[in-house]
Amino acid sequence: MHFADRLVEAVERSGSSLCVGLDPDPALMPRGVEVVEFCRGIVDAVAGLAAAVKPQAAFFEALGPDGWAALAEVCAYAREAGLLVIADGKRGDIGSTATAYAAAFAPIADAVTVNAYLGRDSLEPFLARDGLGVFCLVKTSNPGSGDLQDVALADGTLLWQHVAALVREWGDDLVGESGLSRLGAVVGATYPREVAHARELMPRSVFLLPGVGAQGGRPEELRAAFAPGPAGALVSASRSVIYAYRERGGDWRQAAAEEAARLAGEVRAVAVA
């Protein structure tokens, strides 16, 4: 089934446009808790409060030979809980390498993040996977994003705006029954003006909006992203939710559930306005 159509169903079912990032950092996790146990606990905590989870592949790859098996187990567990899975791998390569990346992620995730710096052919193996959602980096949430993404081209267009125009062009043939394309865009919630402009440039792309919480992004500034409806964007928060126990105290799963519920409410107020 087309990713954007599945996303619409997930948002309607959960009443939420929240995506919770799974970044299992041993330095921040509760002492004595294993990575898979921790991620399964977070999934249990946020199921019904979020539409999707976003496991960051790097934290699993850092585990060594057992890391990919752990990632696959966590993804399967999240899917069984009714959550969509967006694998955050930010892969970008060409030819057989890009094909191998797509072959690795497609069986375990509903969508994947990619870097389009190498051009359309670097995306083709992902786009060729029927139903797979693809989120292309457009304007990222980090402070240094402007070093490259805000460079002005000869006609005055910024580089990220040029990428946005390409995402719109490449995604026009990938629109589902929902009217949304399965080629989406990563746009940092830390740049609300850019979010609004990005929506003008990509009216049918699903936005993945990282940067809320620990990076300082605020849901109330993201209203423009939801112009297509509540499934037009997913607000992504990671550390502020999964490590909420470090500020709230108490059980780490309950703290994550409480923070996810609070944040989901803030996002809902914006998404359905």
- Residue positions annotated with a catalytic role: 90
User: What is the rounded end-to-end Cα distance, in angstroms, of the chain?
Assistant: 28
Token duo for residue 20: 């919770």
DSSP H helical ranges for the chain? 3-14, 35-46, 57-61, 67-80, 95-105, 124-127, 146-149, 159-171, 192-201, 239-242, 245-248, 252-271
- The answer to whether 80 and 102 are in contact (CB under 8 A) is no
User: Which residue, 189, 224, 230, 184, is CA-closest to 207?
Assistant: 184
User: Which residue, 195, 176, 201, is CA-closest to 236?
Assistant: 195
- Residues with Cβ within 8 Å of residue 32, at least 6 apart in sequence: none
Token duo for residue 174: 């990938």
User: Which residue, 91, 85, 3, 77, is CA-closest to 35?
Assistant: 77
CA 185 to chain centre: 9
User: Which residue, 15, 23, 75, 10, is CA-closest to 241?
Assistant: 23
CA distance 187 to 48: 25
Token duo for residue 142: 């980090």
CA angle 52, 178, 158 (to 5 degrees): 75
